[in-house]
Amino acid sequence: MHRPIRFARGLLVGLLALGPLASAAQPHLVPRPLAMEVGEGTFTLSDPVRIVASPEARVQEVAGLLADRIRERMGFRVLVASPEEVFFNDHWGRSGTSEIWLRSDLEWYNPEAYALSVTPSRVTIMDASGEGVWWGVQTLWQLLPPEVDDARGPRPEAWTIPVVDIVDEPRFGWRGSLMDVSRHFFPVEEVERYIDLLARYKMNVLHWHLTEDQGWRLAIEAYPRLTEVGAWRTEPDGSRYGGFYTQDEVRHIVEYARQRGVRVVPEIEMPGHASAALVAYPELACADPPEAVPNAWGVFRDIYCVGKPEVFAFLDTVLTEVAGLFPDPYVHIGGDEVPKERWRDCASCQALKEREGLPDDEALQGYFLRRVNETLVRHGKTMVGWDEILEGGAPEGAVVQVWRDMESVREAVESGHPVVASPTSHAYFDYSPAALPLAQVYSFDPVPDGLSPEAEALVLGGEGNLWSEYITPANFDLMAFPRVLALAEVLWSPEASGDSARAFADFERRLDEGELPRLRARGVTPGPKDSDVLRLSVGTDASGAPRVRVESAVEGIVVRASRDGSAPAPDAPAVSSMTTFSPGDRVVIRPFLNGEALPMTRSFTVEDHLARTGPVTLMPPPDVRYPGPSAGALTDGLLGSAGHRDGLSQGWWDHDLDATVDLGSVQPVRSVTLHTLQNVRSWILPPEAVTVYVSADGETWHTHQARHTMASGDESVRRVVIEVPVDGQARYVRVTAPRRALPDDHPGAGHAGWLFADEIVVR
Ligand code: TNX
């Protein structure tokens, strides 16, 4: 991973000035280059421009792309010439022509490395393979003044670039981002726009999540119902939602990405996360196929039937079309979150298990993957799958994409599999920036400590995942940016040596002074660095009534509200930080950006009770992924929705809930109620029992308990309210609620479920 570039002799001697870029006069490059030295003076880019490109096909192509960009953005005439033409005809140059040389004549081991040198008379970008030249062009563009990214901005007659020498290469070869177009659909232009933005930060993989329970988005000629039926769902409000890509559109996107140095890795989910396909072709399920394409999120029990030969015929045909559409050597087959109960209850699956001598149902998944891998190998493709593929035995050579934790990275590489790391802890950009702040992304190291050099070499790189349950084109930028820039730097730049706080501060400065304004100029609306897009805080107004303060962390967002439980229309009243809601209001707040509703609606009711605004001590605090709106969420007087992602609930994963509230004085207390959630498909269960301890002095405690029974098979998503009668005098109220074990037939069986809570109501 850390081999040095082999420099061409005599080139850039003494250039390797490593370390964070200190002076304010330094260009604001993201990702930080391996080495950079800024000199005296500037190069001026003005009309006409001559790009001198060496003859390799890729260099010629990059020259064409750069020429187009200069023509389009600057309005200059651009001539692309070969070095020979320049040699024989040099009088055309010299006087008043801006020269950019692109050459592919170095001997560097890393095909993506490049050297960029700017002198007052010429810009030169050199690489070894043609691929590095493209990344050098991205750097060159960032060296131009920020106005260059403002399509509506002025068009000066001359643009200046500082004199600089840069040598650069990526730390990892797989620098990607997952775009989930299945939960919500993204039109072709949105996909291509993201490809452009990825390329700008030298990210080279678009992981295109094309199929899911909630929608199949890729046209397959042999199975038209996949998109006729599987691409469409009926939303809870009765509307139809969906979309898909034709094969021509796919070819266009793949070619668009290729030109921009981005590989497209398609993901076709199997054997789970496949409800939409099973609705289209019910014969692919073991029994009882789902009737409608789901319109709710989570993990579904319906999966492709491993016991049916026609399933493998189907997948062989689908993957053959996929292999033809996507030139990339990798095909992602999903493999995550597969409940095995349909296979357990299916006679032909169990017979297959016997026949093959497989020890358990997990091993059936291993069998499934081996069969699918035969198709991929036939087409010269390598399988990529989520970390669960290790559980039933992954085909040799399969790449494991880790999502659960860094321990899984270690496990995978130690069992000899190459790894792409995208753990929830650092790379889940569908989590709010409050739960996954920019600094946390920046602290990501895809390589776990203490790996042998051989194991380390198996870490190919990483990805930032944009699962789209709560992401549409309207809020995509808010979630992706600026976090994807932190990831781009982690995956490209050399590991920052020494002080990591200083390294982050340096990154943040380059972001604030350089890339954030430039992104905005390009029409991108980046989200907050470390807070929710919408911030709710609850206080008390002069009359003692609850006051809810609603703020948006992003300029340009207008928050609108209703008080009757309906979704606010674009002309509903805007909420200011002084708006008060009264107990009983059924508030729905909805942010709008450029007139478009963001899928970040929050609904809550305001509830006044004895513990409201009372200090609450949590032992231990909630999981970092679900911190709630504030540390005092359990006594803020806000009862949220059934959605666990509405930001109002706190969630516990590794610990049970144990909260103590101070009412401020001894008061008569009739009952204590815990407001909690149930969402089995998202691994969230209500507790089996809630225990309440009350005390007047903090020393003598009285215990009360209520139990909660959950009907088996009840997968409804809802709020669960557990009331514990008390009838006594108390100042301190302690509530404990242990997490409930996930049921035996649940994909997470063996672990306790999440426990979510948003309020402890004391009356
Ligand atoms: C888990 S990560 C999933 C996805 C969800 C995501 C939401 C993975 C392989 N599976 O299906 O969209 O969580 O954060």
pLDDT at residue 205 greater than cutoff 60: yes
| Rounded Cα gap, residues 344 and 697, in angstroms | 55
In this prediction, residue 94 has a pLDDT band, given cuts at 50, 70 and 90, of low
CA of 627 to the centre of ligand 1 (A): 19
Q: What is the pLDDT of residue 90?
A: 58
Tell me which residue has its CA closest to atom 2 in ligand 1: 403
Q: What is the pLDDT of residue 29?
A: 97
Which atom in ligand 1 lies closest to the alpha carbon of residue 334? 9
CA of 265 to the centre of ligand 1 (A): 17
- Give backbone dihedrals phi and psi of 3, rounded to 5 degrees, phi first: -70, 140
- Give backbone dihedrals phi and psi of 590, rounded to 5 degrees, phi first: -140, 125
In this prediction, residue 87 has a pLDDT band, given cuts at 50, 70 and 90, of low
Which atom in ligand 1 lies closest to the alpha carbon of residue 336? 9
In this prediction, residue 154 has a pLDDT band, given cuts at 50, 70 and 90, of confident
Q: Is the dihedral of CA 588, 589, 593, 595 positive or negative?
A: positive
Range with lowest mean pLDDT among 94-98, 209-213, 410-414: 94-98
Range with lowest mean pLDDT among 92-96, 518-522, 609-613, 698-702: 92-96
- The residues facing 114 across adjacent strands are 127, 168
The more confident residue out of 66 and 496 is 66
Q: What is the pLDDT of residue 499?
A: 84
Q: Is the dihedral of CA 127, 133, 138, 144 positive or negative?
A: positive
pLDDT at residue 7 greater than cutoff 60: no
Mean per-residue pLDDT, 213-221: 98
CA of 712 to the centre of ligand 1 (A): 24
* Residues 532 and 647: beta-carbon distance below 8 Å: yes
CA of 467 to the centre of ligand 1 (A): 7
Q: What is the pLDDT of residue 23?
A: 35
Helix axes 188-200, 247-259, angle to 10 degrees: 20
Ligand 1 site, residue 756, Cβ cutoff 6 A: no
Ligand 1 site, residue 467, Cβ cutoff 6 A: yes
The amino acid occupying position 366 is G
CA of 146 to the centre of ligand 1 (A): 36
Percentage of residues in the chain having pLDDT higher than 90: 79
* Residues 274 and 282: beta-carbon distance below 8 Å: no
Q: Is the dihedral of CA 408, 411, 413, 416 positive or negative?
A: negative
* Residues 54 and 102: beta-carbon distance below 8 Å: yes
Mean per-residue pLDDT, 504-521: 95
Q: What is the pLDDT of residue 625?
A: 87
pTM over 0.75: yes
Token pair in block for residue 410: 């270690």
pLDDT at residue 364 greater than cutoff 70: yes
CA of 180 to the centre of ligand 1 (A): 10
CA of 653 to the centre of ligand 1 (A): 16
Ligand 1 site, residue 508, Cβ cutoff 6 A: no
Mean per-residue pLDDT, 480-495: 97
In this prediction, residue 695 has a pLDDT band, given cuts at 50, 70 and 90, of very high
- What are the pLDDT digits (tens) for 106-137? 888 899 999 999 999 999 999 998 899 999 99
In this prediction, residue 576 has a pLDDT band, given cuts at 50, 70 and 90, of confident
DSSP for 669-709, written as a single string: EEEEEEEEEEBGGGTB---SEEEEEEESSSSS-EEEEEE--
Token pair in block for residue 61: 């192509």
CA of 346 to the centre of ligand 1 (A): 27
pLDDT at residue 758 greater than cutoff 80: yes
Tell me which residue has its CA closest to atom 12 in ligand 1: 467
Q: Is the dihedral of CA 619, 624, 628, 629 positive or negative?
A: positive
CA of 523 to the centre of ligand 1 (A): 29
Percentage of residues in the chain having pLDDT higher than 70: 96
CA of 273 to the centre of ligand 1 (A): 10
How far from 233 is each of 175, 236, 295, CA to CA, in Å? 33, 10, 6
DSSP for 715-742, written as a single string: ---EEEEEEEEEEEEEEEEEEEEPPPBP
The more confident residue out of 599 and 580 is 599
Ligand 1 site, residue 131, Cβ cutoff 6 A: no
Mean per-residue pLDDT, 188-209: 98
pLDDT at residue 14 greater than cutoff 60: no
Ligand 1 site, residue 387, Cβ cutoff 6 A: no
Ligand 1 site, residue 405, Cβ cutoff 6 A: no
Helix boundaries (H) for 481-603: 483-492, 500-510, 516-521
The residue to mutate among 273, 336, 391, 682, having the most atoms of ligand 1 within 8 angstroms of its beta carbon, is 336
Ligand 1 site, residue 216, Cβ cutoff 6 A: no
CA of 49 to the centre of ligand 1 (A): 48
* Residues 288 and 328: beta-carbon distance below 8 Å: no
Ligand 1 site, residue 213, Cβ cutoff 6 A: no
CA of 308 to the centre of ligand 1 (A): 27
Token pair in block for residue 678: 């149930």
The amino acid occupying position 481 is F
Tell me which residue has its CA closest to atom 10 in ligand 1: 336
CA of 207 to the centre of ligand 1 (A): 14
Mean per-residue pLDDT, 479-493: 98
Which atom in ligand 1 lies closest to the alpha carbon of residue 467? 12
Ligand 1 site, residue 304, Cβ cutoff 6 A: no
* Three-state SS at 350: helix
How far from 570 is each of 10, 533, 561, 592, CA to CA, in Å? 63, 18, 10, 7
| Rounded Cα gap, residues 52 and 611, in angstroms | 73
Instruction: Identify which of 79-83, 89-93, 218-222, 573-577 has the greatest average pLDDT.
Output: 218-222
Q: What is the pLDDT of residue 749?
A: 85
Ligand 1 site, residue 428, Cβ cutoff 6 A: yes
Which atom in ligand 1 lies closest to the alpha carbon of residue 468? 12
Ligand 1 site, residue 403, Cβ cutoff 6 A: yes
| Rounded Cα gap, residues 518 and 566, in angstroms | 38
Helix axes 131-143, 57-74, angle to 10 degrees: 20
Peptide bond into 170 cis (omega under 30): no
Q: What is the pLDDT of residue 702?
A: 97
Which atom in ligand 1 lies closest to the alpha carbon of residue 273? 11
Which atom in ligand 1 lies closest to the alpha carbon of residue 180? 12
Mean per-residue pLDDT, 316-325: 98
Tell me which residue has its CA closest to atom 13 in ligand 1: 467
* Residues 649 and 626: beta-carbon distance below 8 Å: yes
The more confident residue out of 709 and 538 is 709
Task: Give residue 324's region: left, alpha or beta (phi > 0; psi -120 to 50).
Answer: alpha
In this prediction, residue 262 has a pLDDT band, given cuts at 50, 70 and 90, of very high
Ligand 1 site, residue 429, Cβ cutoff 6 A: no
pLDDT at residue 628 greater than cutoff 70: yes
Q: Which residues contact 5 (CB under 8 A, 6 or more apart)?
A: 34, 108, 109, 110, 113, 167, 169
- Give backbone dihedrals phi and psi of 399, rounded to 5 degrees, phi first: -85, 130
Q: Which of 202, 205, 172 is nearest to 3 (CA)?
A: 172
Q: Which residues contact 2 (CB under 8 A, 6 or more apart)?
A: 171, 494
Q: What is the pLDDT of residue 535?
A: 83
CA of 676 to the centre of ligand 1 (A): 22
- What are the pLDDT digits (tens) for 280-303? 999 999 999 999 999 999 999 999
DSSP for 151-199, written as a single string: TTS---SEEEEEEEEEEE--S-SEEEEEEE-SSS---HHHHHHHHHHHH
Range with lowest mean pLDDT among 4-13, 443-452, 518-527, 600-609: 4-13
Number of helices (H), then strands (E), in the chain:
19, 33
Could you give the angle at the alpha carbon of 553 between the alpha carbons of 177 and 536, nearest 5°?
Answer: 110
Q: Which of 290, 305, 369, 389 is nearest to 342 (CA)?
A: 305
Give the alpha-carbon dihedral of 595, 597, 598, 603, to 10 degrees. Answer: 130
Ligand 1 site, residue 386, Cβ cutoff 6 A: yes
- The residues facing 285 across adjacent strands are 304
CA of 469 to the centre of ligand 1 (A): 9
The more confident residue out of 581 and 420 is 420
| Rounded Cα gap, residues 232 and 243, in angstroms | 7
In this prediction, residue 546 has a pLDDT band, given cuts at 50, 70 and 90, of confident
